[in-house]
């Protein structure tokens, strides 16, 4: 990733976080939503934003759906607030890394419990 793309990613992440917290009133965003990662193409045409959502599977799906529905609004606001030649199209996706980490920890706990059971 070029230095320019990294800078734009950082600015986008900061500004989108503010917009989501302050401007979006969608009831599907009732859970805590955090931008965990942003990936911007080199030509700055597209940005994929990974989000983590506190809550159950339904809350996560609702939040991603709401964010994607608000993508054009967010893009328009970014265009007005930032001085970019092009404002990238936004696409939100669920970041599954926390769930994957929890699953690995559960597997390790189960392995540890079964090892203790063999020794006893």
Q: What is the pLDDT of residues 68-92, one digit of tens each?
A: 999 999 999 999 999 888 899 999 9
Are 28 and 4 spatial neighbours (Cβ–Cβ below 8 Å)? no
d(C-alpha 12, C-alpha 100), whole Å: 26
- Tell if the pTM clears 0.85, that is, is over it: no
What domains does the chain contain, in order, with CATH numbers?
3-119 (3.30.300.20)
Q: Which residues pair with 94 in a beta bridge?
A: 51
More confident residue, 98 or 66: 66
Does the pLDDT at position 99 exceed 90?
A: no
What pLDDT score was predicted for residue 54? 86
Are 52 and 98 spatial neighbours (Cβ–Cβ below 8 Å)? yes
């Amino acid at each position: 990733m070029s230095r320019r793309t990294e800078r734009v990613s950082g600015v986008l992440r900061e500004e989108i976080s503010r917009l989501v917290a302050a401007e979006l009133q969608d009831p599907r965003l009732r859970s805590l939503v955090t931008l965990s990662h942003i990936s911007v193409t080199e030509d700055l045409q597209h940005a994929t934003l990974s989000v983590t959502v506190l809550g159950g599977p339904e809350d996560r799906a609702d939040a991603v759906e709401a964010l994607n529905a608000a993508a054009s609004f967010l893009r328009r606001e970014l265009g007005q607030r930032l001085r970019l030649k092009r404002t990238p199209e936004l696409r939100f996706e669920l970041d599954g890394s926390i769930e994957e980490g929890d699953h690995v920890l559960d597997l390790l706990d189960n392995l540890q419990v079964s090892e203790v059971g063999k020794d006893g």
